[in-house]
Structure 1
Amino acid sequence: MTTSTPIRVLVVDDSAFARKVLRQVLSHAEGLEVVGTARDGLDALEKLVELSPDVITLDLVMPGLDGLGVLRALASMPSPPRVVVVSSAGEESELAVTALQAGAVELVHKPTALATDRLYELGEVLVAKVRAAAIAVPRPSVAPAPPVEAPPPRPPVLGPARNLVVVGTSTGGPQALTRLLSMLPPDFPAPMALALHIPAGYTEAVARRLDAQCALEVLEAEQGMELRPGRVVLARAGQHLKVERHGERTLARLDRHPVRLPHHPSVDVLFESAAKAWGADTVGLVLTGMGDDGLEGARTIRAAGGTVLTEAESSCVVYGMPRVVDEAGLSAGTAPLEGLLALLRAHLR
């Protein structure tokens, strides 16, 4: 898509007020053109054929055909538009995470009280997400796991960890993490910490869904939580995840500092804390994502003697975060998602 060609957007929401506000916000943004609106899923599928949008902003809870139904229909199309989910947290968080696993590439948090001016607060974030989605490359969706209320207890992995694996991702991250973690065996020898760019209120649902699809235990980070083999800790959205080493124990620390960084959690902050705690035994992995978060953290890991790996362009939804690390000469190896387990194993002691 050239810079002179506007990004064509279809707004899908069952609320007339929401459609009006989202249309106004997007229409006033440079380089975006709202080509139409749809009141539900069936209306959206009709408008898709008629208007050929590049990006859809998609409500999830709608009468008739809901947002997940739209995503299932898009999966059968040869060149589907990219999808930005506009969803409330709380009760809709599970649906939003399922949508991200089913092919949506971005998520925007929608205020619960729609009939207020708070909806206009979406503006800057929504525009940025639509622009990011427009350059995303659609990838095969991940079949959602059934809800799991009480996963069976997993036996602990025996033996001390010899490495710490830290992972950073953004656009396309939920799909990438699902595919990566589902490949890890129950005896994977290193604890793992993840930083994912996602709005606050959704990481508990992400952790729960990943836990249902992974042989390892996946938990949302809590203050003082121990990182150990057999456990994957996901940074809590809205806070930085840092790791500290206390003898043979590695503990999670959550805070907002540095405050002025654009992302909470920051991949850079996680990577830098890992390099400080684990030094040459740190393995950093940068997956699909927009921007350059993780670049400075990758430098810190390499300076400490650790290893940095990247996802190959061929499987990235957005080849942004891995690209800047690759181009800086910091990556010791790169592979598409299906080859990352072998790549990790080759760099673990």
Structure 2
Amino acid sequence: MAIRVLVVDDSSFFRRRVSEIINSESRMEVVGVATNGKEAVEKAIEIKPDVITMDIEMPIMDGITAVKKIMAQSPVPILMFSSLTHEGAKATLDALDAGALDFLPKKFEDIARNRDEAVSLLQQRVLQIANKRTSLRRPISQPRTAVQKPATSTRPAGGANVAAKPKEQTRGRFRSSGKSYKLTAIGTSTGGPVALQKILTKLPANYPHPIVLIQHMPATFTSAFASRLNSLCKIEVKEAQDGDILRPGVAYLAPGGKQMMFDGRPGSTKLKVIDGGDKMNYKPCVDVTFGSAAKIFSDKVLSMILTGMGADGREGARMLKSAGATIWAQDEESCVVYGMPQAVAKAGISSEDLPLDRIAERMLVEVGLT
């Protein structure tokens, strides 16, 4: 049976364009359209679509409010369309908080080199999130209150070395592997903004080493996303800049459109942020950052691959594993898209597959904070 899609947008041109793309894929069909959020809520209940594509700025009821109501009354996978502006980024992140699973820029030329590539990307995204209709997550309930951070830091310089035998656990109590670390590295894509927020908001201000975050995201989004995370987390979160000196308890988000690498040695490492490169599929790219981490930090890296489409991170994780580092993967059930974690798990690179809601707990045990 074809995936049934409801298209929501106040622009008749955009509704028609999206509908044509979806209907050109035999596995999908548009079963309804709506011109505002109020109509979307009503039709979500009436026709029970498998997926909804949703604009953000609409009359009568905006897309964010509509997402909240739909997820409360008749949960369904929702793909947001957003403008590539700072305000558009903030609104999109609000929509993801409200329960939307993914987003795409409204201007397809911003994400694809030609029409065929744009058509394929939209179709893939709808097909991917449709698979989550039987296991939708609840909207994030994290209060939107800024966290007061200490004026000074007394974080230790390195990870604790707790003597214990390594053991993979996804239920019950975790045990530390006994390894020590100098860096935490996290790579993710589709579903990543929500996953990163759930993990990072659980980390204490005295997290013992730096964290680098590689999230597939447009350039105009990463600044807004880093600012949002910083307001919610006890640790400091910032968009990475070329020349940043790595500090314990600070998370550095790779800028969209760029590549993030490392320069120096453990204990005195700087970030090197360079142009993304025309030949690179991902900007930022998890493989690039993980590979650089393997060269500088060797076995002192605690790394993980979270939800995302494709296989970015697999080769970088392979380099980390060869250097003796630790690699974990998010488990299939808690992923929005089980692509990147599956690539690492199937290759035998990850040592543990973890549910999203327990990754922060596992991290704190591993670095000796619990």
2:139 maps to 1:141? yes
2:157 maps to 1:160? yes
How far has the Cα of 1:257 moved from its partner? 5.3
How far has the Cα of 1:43 moved from its partner? 0.8
2:254 maps to 1:235? yes
Contact 1:154 1:216 (8 Å CA) reproduced: no
Residue 54 of structure 2 is matched in structure 1 by: 58
More displaced 10-residue stretch of structure 1: 128-137 or 94-103:
128-137
Contact 2:205 2:249 (8 Å CA) reproduced: yes
Residue 207 of structure 2 is matched in structure 1 by: 188
> For residues 261 and 48 of structure 1, what CA distance do their matches in structure 2 show?
39
Identity over aligned pairs, percent:
36
Amino acid at match of 1:31: R
2:333 maps to 1:335? no
More displaced 10-residue stretch of structure 1: 170-179 or 324-333:
324-333
How far has the Cα of 1:194 moved from its partner? 0.6
Residue 6 of structure 2 is matched in structure 1 by: 10
Amino acid at match of 2:80: V
RMSD: 2.5
How far has the Cα of 1:112 moved from its partner? 11
2:229 maps to 1:203? no
Residue 35 of structure 2 is matched in structure 1 by: 39
SS at match of 1:215: coil
- Note the residue ranges of structure 1 that are not aligned, 5 or more in a row: none
Instruction: Evaluate the alpha carbon distance shift between residue 27 and residue 276 of structure 1 in structure 2; reply closer, same or farther with a 3 A threshold.
Output: same
How far has the Cα of 1:175 moved from its partner? 0.9
2:281 maps to 1:285? no
Contact 1:286 1:311 (8 Å CA) reproduced: yes
Instruction: Evaluate the alpha carbon distance shift between residue 309 and residue 226 of structure 1 in structure 2; reply closer, same or farther with a 3 A threshold.
Output: same
More displaced 10-residue stretch of structure 1: 297-306 or 125-134:
125-134
TM-score, structure 2 as length reference: 0.84
Instruction: Evaluate the alpha carbon distance shift between residue 30 and residue 197 of structure 1 in structure 2; reply closer, same or farther with a 3 A threshold.
Output: farther
Amino acid at match of 2:137: R
> For residues 232 and 200 of structure 1, what CA distance do their matches in structure 2 show?
18
Instruction: Evaluate the alpha carbon distance shift between residue 233 and residue 120 of structure 1 in structure 2; reply closer, same or farther with a 3 A threshold.
Output: same
Residue 79 of structure 2 is matched in structure 1 by: 84
Instruction: Evaluate the alpha carbon distance shift between residue 104 and residue 9 of structure 1 in structure 2; reply closer, same or farther with a 3 A threshold.
Output: same
How far has the Cα of 1:342 moved from its partner? 3.2
Contact 1:157 1:189 (8 Å CA) reproduced: no
Residue 305 of structure 1 is matched in structure 2 by: 324
Residue 94 of structure 1 is matched in structure 2 by: 90
Task: Write out per-residue CA displacement over residues 285-312 of structure 1, whole angstroms, 9 at most, x where no aligned residue.
Answer: 1111222111111111000111101222
Instruction: Evaluate the alpha carbon distance shift between residue 265 and residue 154 of structure 1 in structure 2; reply closer, same or farther with a 3 A threshold.
Output: farther
Residue 345 of structure 2 is matched in structure 1 by: 326
Amino acid at match of 2:90: E
SS at match of 2:91: helix
How far has the Cα of 1:177 moved from its partner? 0.6
How far has the Cα of 1:334 moved from its partner? 2.8
TM-score, structure 1 as length reference: 0.89
How far has the Cα of 1:89 moved from its partner? 2.1
> For residues 71 and 250 of structure 1, what CA distance do their matches in structure 2 show?
42
> For residues 16 and 188 of structure 1, what CA distance do their matches in structure 2 show?
50
> For residues 339 and 96 of structure 2, what CA distance do their matches in structure 1 show?
19
Amino acid at match of 2:152: P
Task: Write out per-residue CA displacement over residues 61-88 of structure 1, whole angstroms, 9 at most, x where no aligned residue.
Answer: 111211111111122235x221111010
Amino acid at match of 2:119: G
